[in-house]
Amino acid sequence: MWWVSKGTITIRLYFKCPCCSGSQYRTSQFDVSVNNPHGARCIFCKSVMTAQIS
């Protein structure tokens, strides 16, 4: 979903774990890679989160 506020476009991302379907994550600058540009990892199974636009 796109939100426009005073000329600024905001995109809301929803992170979901492909392994355990969890939605709780942590971010780290050390986890940033080509496959994980946001550096988000699941707190339960430590797999890379997938981003979806909500």
Q: How many domains does the chain have?
A: 1
Q: Which domain holds residue 45?
A: 2-53
Contact 29, 39 (CB under 8 A): yes
Can you tell me the distance from the alpha carbon of 28 to that of 51, in angstroms, rounded to the nearest whole number?
15
Q: Cα–Cα distance between 44 and 12 in angstroms, integer?
A: 23
The whole-number pLDDT of residue 10 equals 80
Q: Which residues does the chain have with pLDDT short of 70?
A: 1-5
Cα end-to-end span (Å), the chain: 6
Look at residue 54 in the predicted model and tell me its pLDDT: 76
